[in-house]
Amino acid sequence: MFIALFAALTSATAADCRHLPAPPATATAAVPNDNRTRAGVIRDGVLTLRLVARDAAWRPDGPAGCALTVRAFAEEGRSTSIPGPMIRVAVGTEVHVSVRNALATTVWMRGLQDRRPGVLDSVEIAAGASRDFRFTATQAGAWYYWAGAADAHYPTSGANGQLVGALVVDRPKTAGEKPASDRVMVLTRWTPNGTVENRGFQLNALNGRSWPNTERLQYTVGDSVFWHVINASNSTHEMHLHGFYHRLVARGYDVDSLRASTNGIGGMRVTGVLRPGEWNSVAWSPDRAGNWLYHCHLLTHMSGEQHLDRMPGAVATKESHGGAHRASNHAMDDMGGLVIGLDVRPSRVAATTRRADTASRPARTIDIFANTRARWFGEASGYGFVVQEGSVPPALDSIRIPGTPLILTRGEPVRITVHNRLATPISVHWHGIELESYFDGVGGFSGSSNRIAPMIAAGDSFVVRFTPPRAGTFMYHVHGESGKELSSGLYAPLIVVEPGATFDTRTERVVVFADGGPRDGDPIFMNGTATPDTMVLVTGTTYRIRTIYIGADDIYFTTLRGPGGPVTVQLLALDGYDLPAGPPVMTPMRLPTGPGHTRDMLFTPSEPGAYAIDVVRRLNTGGGITTGPTTTMPIRVRAP
């Protein structure tokens, strides 16, 4: 079914592109670059490469989609590509690159230098001129090179947004190490006016394409997967892997200071933040077959609006839906941009690693209702997941924001029936839970080629089965859909406790951070309100605070402050994965956090007094600028 739909979509008749200026006759067609081929020639330890920057016609929606005129790199004598030709060398290689500027304007070239901490050079190349770059690559990492305006710290999202290419420097192999089977993903961005603003039309691309025209990566259960993910854009991304944890192996941050950051190295997570200019190298291994996604958790960056034939002003065609389409297939119609699909095949050697406890024990049954209530946010509806308690289903218009917390036990199977009482189809994602692909919650995609999970149609229900293998803090939420159901309430905590343990209401607190409704800029909600009740704590008691972040499009900056300023907490777990044993990780709670993360902390107040959790939006550019109203949860700490 999936194959057929995919084929139908990609073989659609050419889109109507009259709303876009036709590329000039001088523009060459840009091909997508999957970064599997090294550019240039290596001889006697020296890489020689000739690049040219030129106008290009870029079709991020595939060959049948519209073309944008952008600037891009080519290897002299070869096709222009987006991203540009990949420079990939081993540490110690001498690199000789010449760059010819075939554009009509001057550009400033950056990144073609050794990446030891220092100053990033900016080399002016006039229209028609060429410059040579020679360096020895000593600093391993997944860097990139780019060209643009004189004052750009990283690629902008305008005409220069695709004028980038990967510069991967491989560290020497250790003895006996297998050759790396890895992939390089370059994230780029385009907006009509080049702005960093995250509202309005934009197009985010992974290796030069927007979902569903991105590559499909094929793996086998047990493979060692290694990815270099490079954010060559002016926006923060929160890359979320469905179904599996991945380990952060290395990272770098590519602004003037060339600050090397070791923060978080070695940690396991399901969502990784990539600030503008940042790269991450991550490793993981699939232990379950099926279709999985790796995507940005910022809804705008994974939304189906990101196709050139759905741009405002586009002529609506039957194929393009004109942006007004209600999806019948979430995966193919609702999503676009920074999404890549993974096809994991079963292993012939180890036929099953299925956890033995699933079949042998009776499942706990749970009924969840996706409900809506009119005029909850002004004229707009509110939404909520409500778990049935007792024998009677919840009232049709009862909602809870956040939805009813699910408290599950590690190793205990559950059978959850999701009842969709909304007027639109939905799918529900069990974020951070290592479950079977079919239940993962991407309607039209989850599962495998002979059994694809449907969306849950209006009035219909869907049964989800899984056995949580890990205790921790997770969430369940609607998977994108039209975009406003999430910010209007369709999310809830999912907490897994150890066998024999209970959720201790005396010493545990859950704080869910999300948007305060469907309108941009309204105050952030903590536990479903912009005016939270006072949390009362007792001195000398250690509390486990489980924070969950599920805003739609914003990075939130959270502070826990006490009478004497910021308060220090002990970090226990990230994304539901316990930190490795070792000395306690103490940190002041002053944290930027994007959507799709959870964080567990221990807090032991020692002094009575007035404390508070503050949360405010932070601009999605890595710049540290907060914006909009602050939401405060007062905390009163009293003596026992």
| Residues near Cu ion, by CB under 5 A | 237, 296, 298, 301
| Minimum CB distance to Cu ion, residue 596 (Å) | 10
Nearer to Cu ion, 71 or 301 (CB): 301
Nearer to Cu ion, 232 or 496 (CB): 232
| Minimum CB distance to Cu ion, residue 448 (Å) | 27
Nearer to Cu ion, 59 or 295 (CB): 295
Q: Which residues pair with 132 in a beta bridge?
A: 98
Using CB atoms within 10 Å of the CB of residue 259, give its burial: 0 to 12 exposed, 13 to 18 middle, 19+ buried. Answer: exposed
Omega within 30 of 0 (cis) for the link into 179: no
Q: Kindly report the three-state secondary structure assignment for every residue of 511-561.
A: EEEECCCCCCCCCCEECCECCCCCEEEECCCCEEEEEEECCCCCEEEEEEE
Using CB atoms within 10 Å of the CB of residue 313, give its burial: 0 to 12 exposed, 13 to 18 middle, 19+ buried. Answer: exposed
| Minimum CB distance to Cu ion, residue 250 (Å) | 21
| Minimum CB distance to Cu ion, residue 551 (Å) | 12
| Minimum CB distance to Cu ion, residue 189 (Å) | 8
Q: What is the DSSP-derived secondary structure letter of residue 4?
A: H
Phi/psi class of residue 438: alpha, beta or left (left: φ > 0; alpha: ψ in -120 to 50)? alpha
Nearer to Cu ion, 278 or 434 (CB): 278
Nearer to Cu ion, 300 or 467 (CB): 300
- R_g of the chain, CA atoms, integer Å: 25
Q: What is the DSSP-derived secondary structure letter of residue 486?
A: H
| Minimum CB distance to Cu ion, residue 157 (Å) | 12
| Minimum CB distance to Cu ion, residue 623 (Å) | 16
Nearer to Cu ion, 161 or 605 (CB): 161
Residue type, position 353, single letter: T
Would you call 17 helix, strand, or coil by DSSP?
Answer: coil
Nearer to Cu ion, 97 or 205 (CB): 205
Buried b (16+ CB within 10 A) or exposed e, 206-219: bbbbbbbbbbebeb
| Minimum CB distance to Cu ion, residue 624 (Å) | 18
Rounded Cα gap, residues 600 and 309, in angstroms: 43
Rounded Cα gap, residues 196 and 222, in angstroms: 40
| Minimum CB distance to Cu ion, residue 237 (Å) | 3
Omega within 30 of 0 (cis) for the link into 286: no
Nearer to Cu ion, 34 or 238 (CB): 238
Nearer to Cu ion, 301 or 400 (CB): 301
